[in-house]
Amino acid sequence: MTEEVIELPEPDAESKALVEKMLSGDRRALARLMTLIESRPPGIYKIMAQVSARMRGAPRLGITGPPGAGKSTLIDQLIREWRSRGHTVGAVAVDPSSPFSGGAVLGDRVRMQEHALDQGVFIRSLGSRGSQGGLSRATMEMGCLLDAFGMDRIMIETVGVGQTELDIIGIADTTIVVLVPEAGDTVQTLKAGLMEIGDLFVINKADRDGADQLSVEVRSMLEMHHREDGWEVPVLMAQARNNVGIKELADKVEEHRVFLMDKPRVGPFRQDYLKRWLVELLLAELGERIRGPQQEQVSQVFLQVEEGEMDPYSAAARILASPEIIKSMLRLSDGP
Amino acid sequence: MTEEVIELPEPDAESKALVEKMLSGDRRALARLMTLIESRPPGIYKIMAQVSARMRGAPRLGITGPPGAGKSTLIDQLIREWRSRGHTVGAVAVDPSSPFSGGAVLGDRVRMQEHALDQGVFIRSLGSRGSQGGLSRATMEMGCLLDAFGMDRIMIETVGVGQTELDIIGIADTTIVVLVPEAGDTVQTLKAGLMEIGDLFVINKADRDGADQLSVEVRSMLEMHHREDGWEVPVLMAQARNNVGIKELADKVEEHRVFLMDKPRVGPFRQDYLKRWLVELLLAELGERIRGPQQEQVSQVFLQVEEGEMDPYSAAARILASPEIIKSMLRLSDGP
């Protein structure tokens, strides 16, 4: 049997030119490429392969925590700090309430716009568009673009309140959990899983009542968690708005980066993550084929489900029972 | 060509007996079946098909809002209210910081345990285990079980702060957004997408400063959103902890249920949701096949990715370029 090969679509000439321009350091091309990638054009695999080849493995810093913890202000200050140390910085905000995505009060927004004038900074926000999986994929891809573009440090902001923070683990090398002194809820949030993912904890708005108490609580919870990698998780105090504690935080982040250096590959280069990433890409493509136009046999089953005549489980069982139907559904059939 | 048929695995005898027992009203069987379903046994399709056949379409109420808004307390009170009206109630808490999942302070937990003695109430919590997709699927399935078990009202609690709330839309017929008067963040949260999904808004802890102000803000934001279905979204005040405003809330929820009656099928019976659900089930199965043991050709590509010798995009492109490789990967090949 000769092996049939489907050529995956090439990016169009315009996209190719955009990638070249981006890789040569054109900021507008970077912005346009991000928009292009988000729209998931047919040539995306080849575009991202080209981008991947140029990635340098810039450290990725995840910043997560409940809404209102001041994550964006912290990022804003960290950008300043890194710039003063001579690093270029790219940031992706996945928090739809982030000032980066226009969800903030005017003062914050104005402050952020200062960075727009700095050639060494590039900030991109991802709204609440698309599904969770889609957001996670998009975040990862924006990070890859910023890396290939040549940014020295990459920051990713997500809202972490239970489920959502799970995604950041695979994407970041170093994860900062930002907390604020507030009644009751904090301990709950910690229990919700943030405890396990933080490489650094920051008590922000540390001039508020209860900051010391919170710090003690976090430390005592950390003591109950054994870190296998031997990293000692610091709990830092900060007042991002007043630029207090930022230098110390940046130092600790760098310390963690150095700590990771003699460890197995991390973040986007971790073995398990790379495989998961490949599986996700494959499933995304198969999903598109399934959702696309279907021949009689499959579309009949879909229709029965939509009409409530068959439950989704029975329908799935019926489709999965036949390799021929699966092949037809995934457009893998041999003949017409 | 004769059509090959793979028989999907039958549930084992024990699972079958469990389903029968559950459907006959055995609460312990319900609890054990939930645990079984969460473990995704091979017979799950047939189990869920059997469960689906017995679903009565009990109204599903989604409760979402930021952490600390008092969602669990509100659910606790709504359970009391519905019980006093003679309804049985099932609840699924997807919030890992929920008292239902043990994340709360002791007082809350004790209060919730009262319901454990009530035969007309069944509460299940889902922790932060598994992925987002996995949680959404598990939540849906717990709801189906509670429905088939015969519960009159089903409640689903999720943390909604941007992305996570997206899942609840497909699962609930009626969605309550719970907010509390607090500085600044609320307007951001609203912008983050909660505005679109709420059928009812509840300002909880309404005795706090700023409750009236928040109510005005929510109302004015609602005015900017046109609801195509004609439902007028109420903004209610409540103090869940003091049982204030609960009756009014329950009345409004019932009003929305009646409002939906002459509308096209909603919630889990919505056409688009049913199809999406089927696609998810299919992709879950295909994903398991991809992650399973692979023959030489595919496992070689996976290995190259894990070793960092090939980027995931190039690998996906290589696999997707060949129907034969896809078939082998999904165990759809005709022969050895």
Tokens standing for residue A296: 């009689």
The minimum CA-CA distance between A17 and chain B, rounded to whole Å, is 19
Which has the minimum average pLDDT: A274-278, A315-319, A330-334, B98-102? B98-102
Cβ pair B43, B9 in contact under 8 A: yes
SS3 A55: coil
Answer yes or no: is A174 within a domain: yes
Per-residue pLDDT tens over the stretch A50-60: 998 898 889 99
Cβ distance of A48 and B104 shorter than 8 Å: no
State how far the Cα of A194 lies from the Cα of B162, in Å rounded to an integer.
17
State how far the Cα of B156 lies from the Cα of B91, in Å rounded to an integer.
6
Which chain B residue has the Cα nearest residue A190?
B97
Is B163 found in the same domain as B16? no
Higher pLDDT, B262 or B187: B262
State the DSSP code for B161.
Answer: S
Got the DSSP string for B279-333?
A: HHHHHHHHHHHHHS---HHHHHHHHHHHTTSS-HHHHHHHHHT-HHHHHHHTT--
Q: Which of B9, B38, B54 is the last residue of a domain?
A: B54
Is A67 found in the same domain as A27? no
Tokens standing for residue A227: 């870190």
pLDDT at B20 (0 to 100): 95
Q: Kindly state the average pLDDT of the residues B87-100.
A: 73
Is B49 found in the same domain as B69? no
pLDDT at A284 > cutoff 90: no
Per-residue pLDDT tens over the stretch A128-181: 544 444 667 778 889 999 999 999 999 988 765 444 444 555 678 898 988 888
pLDDT at B101 (0 to 100): 45
Answer yes or no: is B173 within a domain: yes
Cβ pair A66, A189 in contact under 8 A: yes
Q: Highest mean pLDDT range out of A214-218, A260-264, B26-30, B105-109?
A: B26-30
Q: Kindly state the average pLDDT of the residues B290-304.
A: 92
pLDDT at A2 (0 to 100): 46
Q: In what order do the strands lie in the sheet containing B89-93?
A: B121-125, B89-93, B153-159, B60-65, B174-179, B200-203, B235-237
State how far the Cα of A90 lies from the Cα of B174, in Å rounded to an integer.
40
Tell me, what's the ipTM?
0.77
pLDDT at B236 (0 to 100): 97
By C-alpha distance, which of A91, A121, A240, A294 is closest to B275?
A294
Answer yes or no: is B212 within a domain: yes
Is B168 found in the same domain as B109? yes
pLDDT at B32 (0 to 100): 93
Residue B48 with chain A: CB contacts under 8 Å: 311, 313
- Rounded CA Rg of chain B: 23
Domain total of chain A = 3
Residue A278 with chain B: CB contacts under 8 Å: 302, 305, 312, 315-316
Measured between CB atoms, which of A105, A182, A316 is closest to B282?
A: A316
pLDDT at B2 > cutoff 50: no
User: What does the longest C-alpha to C-alpha distance in chain A come to?
Assistant: 74
pLDDT at B152 (0 to 100): 96
Measured between CB atoms, which of B189, B285, B324 is closest to A97?
A: B189
pLDDT at A301 (0 to 100): 94
Q: Which of A31, A54, A77 is the last residue of a domain?
A: A54
Is B136 found in the same domain as B239? yes
Which chain A residue has the Cα nearest residue B67?
A185
User: Is B134 part of the contact surface with chain A (CB cutoff 8 Å)?
Assistant: no
pLDDT at A297 > cutoff 70: yes
Is B214 found in the same domain as B110? yes
Answer yes or no: is B286 within a domain: no
Q: How many CB atoms lie within 10 A of CB A276?
A: 15
The minimum CA-CA distance between B275 and chain A, rounded to whole Å, is 6
Tokens standing for residue B41: 């046994």
CATH number, domain with residue B241: 3.40.50.300
User: What are the counts of helices (DSSP H) followed by strands (DSSP E) for chain B?
Assistant: 15, 7
Is B168 found in the same domain as B112? yes
Is A30 found in the same domain as A40? yes
Is A310 found in the same domain as A163? no
Answer yes or no: is B285 within a domain: no
Residue A5 with chain B: CB contacts under 8 Å: 321-322
pLDDT at A334 (0 to 100): 64
Per-residue pLDDT tens over the stretch B168-226: 556 788 989 888 887 455 555 555 566 777 899 999 999 988 899 889 988 888 887 77
pLDDT at B329 > cutoff 90: yes
Pairing type for strands B200-203 and A60-65 reads unpaired
pLDDT at B264 (0 to 100): 66
| Average predicted confidence (pLDDT) for chain A | 81
The minimum CA-CA distance between B252 and chain A, rounded to whole Å, is 28
State how far the Cα of A238 lies from the Cα of A250, in Å rounded to an integer.
11
Answer yes or no: is A281 within a domain: no
* Alpha-carbon B95 to chain mean position: 10
Q: At residue B71, what is the residue type?
A: K
Q: In chain A, which residue ranges form alpha helices assigned H by DSSP?
A: 13-23, 27-38, 44-53, 71-84, 106-116, 132-149, 166-171, 185-189, 195-197, 211-223, 246-261, 271-291, 296-306, 312-320, 323-329
Is B93 found in the same domain as B21? no
Got the DSSP string for B233-276?
A: --EEE-BGGGTBSHHHHHHHHHHHHHHHHTSSP-GGG-HHHHHH
pLDDT at B22 > cutoff 90: yes
> Which residue, among A166, A188, A280, would best test binding to B if mutated, counting the most B CBs under 10 Å from its CB?
A188
Q: With bands split at pLDDT 50, 70 and 90, how would you rate the model's confidence at B301?
A: very high
Per-residue pLDDT tens over the stretch B130-147: 444 466 777 888 999 999
Measured between CB atoms, which of B282, B291, B326 is closest to A319?
A: B282
Residues 190-219 of B with CB under 8 A from A: 191-193
pLDDT at A247 > cutoff 80: yes
Is A307 found in the same domain as A216? no
Residue B326 with chain A: CB contacts under 8 Å: 330, 332
Per-residue b or e along B87-101, where b marks 16 or more CB atoms closer than 10 Å to that residue's CB = bbbbbbbbbbbbbbb
Q: Kindly state the average pLDDT of the residues B90-110.
A: 56
Which has the minimum average pLDDT: A218-232, B22-36, B207-221, B275-289? A218-232
The minimum CA-CA distance between A47 and chain B, rounded to whole Å, is 9
Tokens standing for residue B195: 């505005």
Cβ distance of B97 and A131 shorter than 8 Å: no
| Average predicted confidence (pLDDT) for chain B | 81
State how far the Cα of B193 lies from the Cα of A131, in Å rounded to an integer.
13
Q: Which residue segment(s) compose the domain that A15 sits in?
A: 1-54
Cβ pair A40, A46 in contact under 8 A: no
Q: Which of A34, A54, A74 is the last residue of a domain?
A: A54
Is B27 found in the same domain as B39? yes
pLDDT at B275 (0 to 100): 83
Which has the minimum average pLDDT: A54-58, A226-230, B6-10? B6-10
Residues 33-72 of B with CB under 8 A from A: 44-46, 48-49, 52-53, 66-68
Total residues found in chain A within this entry: 336
pLDDT at B103 > cutoff 80: no
Per-residue pLDDT tens over the stretch B235-246: 999 999 999 999
